[in-house]
Structure 1
Amino acid sequence: MKLIKFFIFILFTTASAQTTFNIHGKVLSEGQPLPFANIYIENSKKGTTTNDKGEFILENLKPGDYSIAASFTGYVVQKKNATIEDKDLNINFKLNENDALDEVIVTGTLKAVSRLESPVPVEVYSSTFLKKNPTPNIFEALQNVNGVRPQLNCNVCNTGDIHINGLEGPYTLVLIDGMPIVSGLSTVYGLSGIPNSLIEQIEIVKGPASSLYGSEAVGGLINIITKRPENAPRFFADAFITGWGEMNIDTGFKAKVGEKATVLVGINYYKFNELVDNNNDNFTDLTLQDRISIFQKWDFKRANNKKLSVAGRYFYEDRWGGELQWNKGYRGGNEVYGESIYTSRFEILGNYELPITEKVNFQFSYSDHDQNSVYGNTPYLAQQRIGFGQFIWDKKINNHDLLFGTALRYNYYNDNTAATTTADEITIPSVFAQDEIAFNKKQSLLVGMRYDYDNRHGNIFTPRIAYRYKPTDDDIIRLNAGTGFRVVNLFTEEHAALTGARDVIIEEALDPEKSYNVTLNYLKKLYLKNGMYFTLDTSAWYTYFTNAIIPDYDTNPNQIIYSNLDGYSTTKGISFNVDAVLGSGIKASAGGTYQDVSQTEDSITTDQILTESFSGVWSFSYKNYATNLTFDYTGSIYGPMRLPLLGDLDPRQEHSPTWSIQNIQITHDGFDNIEIYGGVKNLLNWTPNKGNPFIIARADDPFDENVQFDGNGDVIATADNPYALTFDPSYVYGPNQGIRLFFGVRYNLY
Structure 2
Amino acid sequence: MNHKQLSLIASSVLLALSPSLHAQEKKSYTDEMVVTATRTEQSIMNVPGSVSKVTAEDMEKNLANDLQDALKYEPGVQVNGNGRFGISDFTVRGVSGNRVKVMVDNVEQPAGYNPGADQMRKYSNGFEVDTLTAVEVSKGPGSSLYGSDAIGGTVLLRTKNPEDVLQTGENNHLAVKTGYASSSDQYKATIEAANRTGAVESLLIYTYRDGHETKAHGDGADIEGRSRGQANPLTFASHNVLGKVYVQVNDANRVGLVAEYYTRDTDAQILSQENYDAGGGFMPGFVYTNVRGHDEDARIRLGLNHEWQANLAVADSVSWALNWQQSESKHDNYDHTDRYGNRNRYRGGEDSSTQFDAQFNKAIALSNTRHELTYGLSVVQNEFELDYKDYFLDAGTEKPGPVEVPNAKSVKYGIFLQDQLYLMQDQLVVTGGLRYDNYQAEPASSSGLSDHESDAVTGRLGAVYHWTESFNTYAQISQGFRSPTIGEMYEDKDNSALGYKIVANPNLKSEKSLAYEIGARTQGRIGLMSIAAFYTDYKDFIASQTEVVSGIQITSNENLDSAKIYGAEFASELWLDEALNAPSGTYAKVSLAYQEGEDKKTGEALDSVAPFTSVVGLGYDAPSGDWGSEVNAVYVASKSGSDWSSDTNVDAPSYTVVDLTAYYTPTEDLVLRAGLFNAFDKKYWRYQDIEGFTASEPGLGRHTQPGRNWGVNVDYAF
Q: Does the C-alpha gap of structure 1 residues 686 and 414 become closer, same or farther in structure 2, counting only changes over 3 Å? A: farther
Match of 1:45 in 2: none
1:77-120 Cα deviation digits (max 9, x unpaired): 9xxxxxxxxxxxxxxx9962543442232221111222222344
Match of 2:680 in 1: 684
Q: Does the C-alpha gap of structure 1 residues 597 and 564 become closer, same or farther in structure 2, counting only changes over 3 Å? A: farther
1:610-656 Cα deviation digits (max 9, x unpaired): 43231122343212357932111123232333699999998xx6221
Q: Is the partner of 1:657 in helix, strand or coil?
A: coil
Pairwise mapping of residues 386-535 of structure 1 onto structure 2 (< 5 A)? 386-398=353-365, 399-416=370-387, 421-440=405-424, 441-455=426-440, 456-489=452-485, 508-509=505-506, 510-527=508-525, 533-535=526-528
- Rounded Cα–Cα distance in structure 2 between residues aligned with 1:182 and 1:491: 12
Instruction: Report the residue type matching 1:135 in the other structure.
Output: A
Mean Cα displacement is larger for which, 307-316 or 111-120? Answer: 111-120
Give the counterpart of 1:344 among 298, 306, 322.
298
Mean Cα displacement is larger for which, 626-635 or 218-227? Answer: 626-635
Q: Does the C-alpha gap of structure 1 residues 296 and 605 become closer, same or farther in structure 2, counting only changes over 3 Å? A: same
Q: Is the partner of 2:607 in helix, strand or coil?
A: coil
Give the counterpart of 1:148 among 70, 77, 102.
77
Instruction: Report the residue type matching 2:531 in the other structure.
Output: T
Mean Cα displacement is larger for which, 585-594 or 559-568? Answer: 559-568
Q: Does the C-alpha gap of structure 1 residues 685 and 215 become closer, same or farther in structure 2, counting only changes over 3 Å? A: same
Match of 1:50 in 2: none
2:539 counterpart of 1:572: no
Q: Is the partner of 1:568 in helix, strand or coil?
A: strand
- Rounded Cα–Cα distance in structure 1 between residues aligned with 2:589 and 2:257: 36
- Rounded Cα–Cα distance in structure 1 between residues aligned with 2:644 and 2:622: 53
- Rounded Cα–Cα distance in structure 2 between residues aligned with 1:491 and 1:737: 34
2:327 counterpart of 1:369: yes
Contact 1:580–1:589 (Cα < 8 Å) also in 2: yes
- Rounded Cα–Cα distance in structure 2 between residues aligned with 1:370 and 1:633: 39
Instruction: Report the residue type matching 1:300 in the other structure.
Output: V
How far apart are residue 491 of structure 1 and its match? 5.2
Q: Is the partner of 2:59 in helix, strand or coil?
A: helix
Q: Does the C-alpha gap of structure 1 residues 561 and 324 become closer, same or farther in structure 2, counting only changes over 3 Å? A: same
- Rounded Cα–Cα distance in structure 1 between residues aligned with 2:129 and 2:593: 29
Match of 1:102 in 2: 31
Contact 2:177–2:191 (Cα < 8 Å) also in 1: no
Q: Does the C-alpha gap of structure 1 residues 407 and 156 become closer, same or farther in structure 2, counting only changes over 3 Å? A: closer
Give the counterpart of 1:160 among 81, 88, 92.
88
2:353 counterpart of 1:360: no
Q: Does the C-alpha gap of structure 1 residues 560 and 132 become closer, same or farther in structure 2, counting only changes over 3 Å? A: farther
Instruction: Report the residue type matching 1:748 in the other structure.
Output: A
2:374 counterpart of 1:380: no
2:135 counterpart of 1:202: yes
How far apart are residue 605 of structure 1 and its match? 0.8
Q: Is the partner of 1:336 in helix, strand or coil?
A: strand
Match of 2:174 in 1: 235
How far apart are residue 178 of structure 1 and its match? 3.1
- Rounded Cα–Cα distance in structure 2 between residues aligned with 1:301 and 1:665: 41
Contact 2:659–2:677 (Cα < 8 Å) also in 1: yes
Instruction: Report the residue type matching 2:587 in the other structure.
Output: K
Contact 1:611–1:641 (Cα < 8 Å) also in 2: no
How far apart are residue 298 of structure 1 and its match? 1.8
Instruction: Report the residue type matching 2:140 in the other structure.
Output: G
1:634-679 Cα deviation digits (max 9, x unpaired): 23232333699999998xx622111233311121112231111212
Match of 1:718 in 2: none
Contact 2:181–2:187 (Cα < 8 Å) also in 1: no
2:248 counterpart of 1:301: yes
Match of 1:747 in 2: 716
Q: Does the C-alpha gap of structure 1 residues 538 and 627 become closer, same or farther in structure 2, counting only changes over 3 Å? A: closer
How far apart are residue 161 of structure 1 and its match? 1.7
- Rounded Cα–Cα distance in structure 1 between residues aligned with 2:321 and 2:80: 31
Give the counterpart of 1:285 among 231, 252, 261.
231
2:591 counterpart of 1:591: yes
Match of 2:51 in 1: 122
Pairwise mapping of residues 309-348 of structure 1 onto structure 2 (< 5 A)? 309-324=256-271, 334-348=288-302
Under a length normalisation based on structure 1, what TM-score does the superposition of the two structures give? 0.72
Q: Does the C-alpha gap of structure 1 residues 226 and 627 become closer, same or farther in structure 2, counting only changes over 3 Å? A: closer
Contact 2:179–2:189 (Cα < 8 Å) also in 1: no
Q: Does the C-alpha gap of structure 1 residues 305 and 647 become closer, same or farther in structure 2, counting only changes over 3 Å? A: closer
Q: Does the C-alpha gap of structure 1 residues 317 and 155 become closer, same or farther in structure 2, counting only changes over 3 Å? A: closer
Match of 1:171 in 2: 99
Q: Does the C-alpha gap of structure 1 residues 247 and 643 become closer, same or farther in structure 2, counting only changes over 3 Å? A: farther
Instruction: Report the residue type matching 1:389 in the other structure.
Output: F
- Rounded Cα–Cα distance in structure 2 between residues aligned with 1:690 and 1:138: 16
- Rounded Cα–Cα distance in structure 2 between residues aligned with 1:275 and 1:174: 24
Q: Does the C-alpha gap of structure 1 residues 353 and 646 become closer, same or farther in structure 2, counting only changes over 3 Å? A: closer
- Rounded Cα–Cα distance in structure 2 between residues aligned with 1:163 and 1:147: 8
Match of 1:137 in 2: 66
1:201-250 Cα deviation digits (max 9, x unpaired): 22221001111111111111122223320331511122111335623324
Q: Is the partner of 1:135 in helix, strand or coil?
A: coil
Q: Is the partner of 1:640 in helix, strand or coil?
A: coil
- Rounded Cα–Cα distance in structure 1 between residues aligned with 2:137 and 2:503: 33
Match of 1:56 in 2: none
Aligned length: 610
- Rounded Cα–Cα distance in structure 2 between residues aligned with 1:649 and 1:598: 14
Match of 1:620 in 2: 618
Contact 2:356–2:380 (Cα < 8 Å) also in 1: yes
Q: Is the partner of 1:612 in helix, strand or coil?
A: coil
Contact 1:579–1:590 (Cα < 8 Å) also in 2: yes
Mean Cα displacement is larger for which, 658-667 or 282-291? Answer: 282-291
RMSD: 4.2
Under a length normalisation based on structure 2, what TM-score does the superposition of the two structures give? 0.75
- Rounded Cα–Cα distance in structure 2 between residues aligned with 1:656 and 1:190: 27
RCO higher in structure (CA 8 A, sep ≥6):
2
Instruction: Report the residue type matching 1:249 in the other structure.
Output: K
Contact 2:148–2:482 (Cα < 8 Å) also in 1: yes
Contact 1:695–1:732 (Cα < 8 Å) also in 2: no
Could you list the runs of 5+ residues in structure 2 that have no partner in the other structure?
6-21, 115-120, 167-172, 275-286, 335-343, 389-401, 441-451, 578-583
